[in-house]
Amino acid sequence: MERPVDRDARERPEAVVDEPWSPAELDALEDALAELREAAPASAEPASLGPRAQSRLADYRRVLALFHDATPLEDPSPGVLDGVLAAARAATPPDRERGRDGLLGWLRRSWALPGLALATSAALVLILVRPGDPPREEPSAADRSAAPELADARAPAAPAQTVEVEEVAADEDRVDATERTATVTAQPSAAQDEGVEPARERPPAPRRSPPTRTREKKADAPSKEAEAANTMRSEPQAQGPRDKDSLRDALDRADRLRERGHCDEARPLYAEVAAAGGLEGAFALVGLGVCAELRGAHEEAERSLRQARETGLVDDARIARERAQTPRG
């Protein structure tokens, strides 16, 4: 705080002009000014003030009195403020366009960002989705639930189709073998009649045409399977197979019976082929083991499968395939 200059020092000889104000005097003067009143008596001044501070406080009080004389307090009459507000409203015309601009501005501020986001999303969709691409159809819940059932229904169709193809090939082999036998038998008799030694001709190689009748036979498969089963049951099984072809034919008949669920008719054929040994005998042991498993004779099944493995001609993959082709229940 600046040091106050005592203008009335000449009139108050007791005041010391050159002596500076101490911090304590300044604090006491500041506290007294905070409680300054115009008409306070001199005895009401704080006792902590020195003579110089009391003189300065009296000067401030005279200034305050002059200010009050120059600006007296007046109480306004009732209705003055209302009249001022009415005059202000009358002088200012109503701005009708302001509300309209405010609404447009609010709409502009509220919809600018969502509109920009929507336009950007539409542009991205047009870029990513090409018009020439075919629409991808998602499978429905019913199709997804029916897919495993269709797969299970198609699985047993493969062994049945394989059996039909083997039947067609076996029938064609039998026809070719019969024709070759008739040709070889007829050639020596013709040569003896003419007195000329017959030329040795090599028999034609067996030809296997592709099974084109597979699809045609698929329609009437149940009836032909029933006829084949009845034929196999009616064939005499007293005489066992002798040569390799008859062993293979007997093994094929037994396999077809087992794959149709007729293990009772297939077991005698398997037993005859197994007694002959060789590759067909090993396969017949596998058939006996699978039929025994189906019947519940686990010890007999284990014995037959162990004998088949000991031959070295059968592996676990063959056994698993034969089990898969045998109907259960």
Q: What are the pLDDT digits (tens) for 214-229?
A: 444 444 444 444 454 4
pLDDT at 319: 87
Question: What is the token pair recorded at 297?
Answer: 């004779």
CA 284/CA 255 separation, integer angstroms: 9
Contacts of 323 (CB under 8 A, 6+ apart): 290, 293
Residue 84: pLDDT band (50, 70, 90) is confident
pLDDT tens-place string over residues 9-62:
445 544 445 588 999 889 988 988 888 865 555 555 666 788 888 889 999 999
pLDDT at 39: 53
Domain boundaries, the chain: 7-70, 237-329
DSSP run (H or E) holding 305: helix 298-310
pLDDT above 50: residue 287: yes
Averaged confidence pLDDT in the chain: 70
pLDDT at 66: 92
pLDDT above 50: residue 124: yes
Please report the DSSP string for 7-48 in residue order.
Answer: GGGTT-TTS-SSSPPPHHHHHHHHHHHHT--TT--GGGS-TT
pLDDT above 50: residue 277: yes
Question: What is the token pair recorded at 271?
Answer: 């037993």
User: Nearest to residue 66, comparing CAs of 34, 91, 38?
Assistant: 38
Residue 158: pLDDT band (50, 70, 90) is very low
More confident residue, 237 or 164: 164
pLDDT above 80: residue 199: no
User: Nearest to residue 212, comparing CAs of 169, 248, 260, 182?
Assistant: 169
